[in-house]
Structure 1
Amino acid sequence: MIKISFNTLRETLKLKLLKYGFEESEAGLCSKILSENNLYGVASHGTNRFCSFISLIKSGHIVVKTKPVLFKSFGAWEQWDAQKGPGPLNAWTATDRAINLSKENGIGVVTLKNSNHWMRAGTYGWKAAEEGFIMIAWTNAFPMMPPWGSKQAVLGNNPITFAVPRKTGPVVLDMALSQYSYGQLSNYRRENKPLPYAGGYDLYGNLTTDAGEIYESKRTLPIGYWKGSGLAIMIDLVSTILSGGNSTLDIGMSEHDTAMSQVFIVFDPSKTNTAESINAIANSIIDSVKSSEPAEQSEIVLYPGERALNRKNEYLKSGIPVDETVWERILKL
């Protein structure tokens, strides 16, 4: 690993995006989003995915020059077509629009069809919460997880984020519906490290902590076993129906995870609460969680988003860890 400052990382990625057809402002925003993924400790959806992001641009699966367009409106709910544009920019636009709709109506819902990988779900939760809004957002994805009781990967791991504003740091849950995202599995496989807990099955149907074996079997483990499997199915159903876009089944007809369906729901809590009361409620609940007795003396009880916030503060001071081989590949683009 090498350490790189946030500004160096962002500017390097921006220059590469400009080279591949992004406009100045869009290259700036996209490089910011990708660099912040590393800053929050999610390199799997930042530098580690950047070269494949460029490959999808070169192959035409991501269309740099297109932008989301509104095609139906139902008051507080709007349907947009992302036209296969860059996923992070599509999701940022959808989040902004959902926020504005919630300001008008108390709730704002934006559904996107034909979008691409939005990278880190939490990006959009953090954005909404830092602006004082509550958010729930999710996406369907390429089939990479078997439903409970099956060994064939027909479900996406369908990442979801929940976010709540809080003055000392938003509470943001960002998770895939598999025990580990494929990005995390890729990190463990690259570093040849065992997973902390079983994350899927080997070719013989045994639970394993070997990320390489899970890649080979293509049998990731749903969170909560059958419950995670059921939730993945429901997210795919709701995403597809509300957006008018592709299901995981449709996405699987391609070789790549493109043209996804996504849902962004934003609430404006100021319609019923003051900023002070919202913060007091959040602090009361989080303080209760943090004061609970750890199961082991070495354990630290964390709230959703706390680890990410700690990493951000640490990496801003010490530099962001980046895989040296990955960095060399980026510089050669």
Structure 2
Amino acid sequence: MTSLVFGGNGQVGQELLRALASLGAVQTTTRSGTLPDGRACLQADFADADAVVAVLDTVRPARVVNAAAYTAVDQAESDADAAHAANASTPGAIARWCAANGVPLVHYSTDYVFDGAGTRPYRPEDPTAPLGVYGASKLAGEDAIRAAGGRHLIFRTAWVYAAHGQNFLRTMLRVGAERDVLRVVADQIGTPTPAALIADVTARVLQQGTDASGTWHLTAAGETSWHGFAQAIFDDAVARGLISRAPTVEAITTADYPTPAKRPAYSRLDTDSLQRDFGIELPQWRDALGDVLDTLAAAQR
């Protein structure tokens, strides 16, 4: 049974290539037709839904996992057409193909579908109210997938990072080694979530062979701020010898760091239904961070 992963060069996509290998053959796509390590793969540009569907017709996969997305949150504010093409129109076309061919679809969405005005972790059934183009485009993608009528598993996640790629963890390690003082937003609350955890949970759910269809929240457990995440990164990185000393991390407000796109102030996601429905226990975010830093430390030995 072949799994087709769209977006094999992204943080989650790269981890999916590893995690899904236990389920059988895996094929993947990138926009360029090349993976980060230089290997060739299938080419699929999410700006062209017809070309993406043509890949599906060629591969005829037993399952589809869509890890491709337009994730430039600020750029999306001035590039709405591209964001909606990648995050809504093309996922909708994939979902319609999957529905017509009886193929299950896994798709990833985001905490940005919520406005962040809540005071408790958001449940999957809570009302959505995205603050910007990125969140709106991801919500439109969810709606298009549901409307297609096929079996789908939508996993909303948040604050994704990995030992590879461009993300908050790697940025902090780089700039923390260069500067004595960093200023990091402390009034946005969420849950840092490793891409490897997302991929591993996806593989476990698919391995169960469940016929479930719907929307679940998939993050690590607990919550912190970006400031708290940064401080934990530096403390744990020093302990593992990844950096020689931790910079001072000053707490600032969102108003001190204006961006084109508004971020939700509170976007912790309630994962109870995921854990209940699939019998999965999720790690605390700080423990999960340690696992990723262990991977980085091992690679430097």
Global fold match (TM > 0.5): no
TM-score, with structure 2 as normaliser: 0.31
Which structure is larger by alpha-carbon Rg, 1 or 2?
1
Of structures 1 and 2, the one scoring higher in RCO (CA 8 A, sep 6+) is: 1
Query: When the two structures are superposed, what TM-score results if normalisation uses the length of structure 1?
Result: 0.29
